[in-house]
Amino acid sequence: MKPLSECRLYAFVDTAYLDGRDPVAVAEALCEGGADLVQLRAKDRTAEEIRQLASRLLPVTRAAGVGLVINDHPEVALSVGAELCHLGQEDFFDRGYRHVSELCSGQRGLRVGLSSHAPEQAERAVRAGADYVAVGPVYATGTKPGVKPVTLAYVRWAARHLNVPWFAIGGINLTNLEEVLAAGARRICVVSAILRAPDVRLACRAFRERLDRLVGAP
């Protein structure tokens, strides 16, 4: 996969948004559409079910040179050989972790991303050795119901202060993408605007082309 610094478009296989579609087919469409990273997010599945699904997705993403991110379950990421895992603040710090190296049990190669909803959380994630930081939700989003948007002000702060790769996330679509980029974002996560589209590959491709035009190819 590309270095994280060169990744622009972070897409998702979110089981809450599959609507009966084959997750492998969705992953294939995301890779064909130009995603740099694909996260498996399965809040409704057991760890073993996620491991089985990740084992099916990994050959697809690896063949495309796309990084596979496992949400919530670093042990699953390690067991299947996924390149990355992603955790929320509560899933990391509230469980007693202080540095991402503690997740890997001496094994190398797993990169870790952490969510953040405020500057102090982003700074804490960087101190903990996060390989990337998610900044959001920028706008209200169904993937984080009840969570107050951080607004573009936080995106502007991240552009000025973060020295690790970071991705704006939350309610981003083709209508508001340009204002997110104008605030300083160079990498974005997109869930529903792609997964709710009639054609996942074409929707992903539209974001890819817009990013390459406005930000430039990595």
CATH number at residue 198: 3.20.20.70
**Model confidence, pTM:** 0.96
What's residue 149's pLDDT? 93
Expressed as residue numbers, the domain containing 155 is: 4-214
- Tell me how many domains the chain contains: 1
What's residue 107's pLDDT? 60
What's residue 108's pLDDT? 64
Strand partners, 38: 11, 68
Catalytic positions: 41, 115, 144
What's residue 161's pLDDT? 98
What's residue 105's pLDDT? 62
CA angle 157, 66, 172 (to 5 degrees): 40
Low-confidence ranges of the chain (pLDDT < 50): none
- How much is the CA Rg of the chain, to the nearest whole Å? 16
Q: How far apart are CA 93 and CA 90, in angstroms?
A: 6
What's residue 162's pLDDT? 98
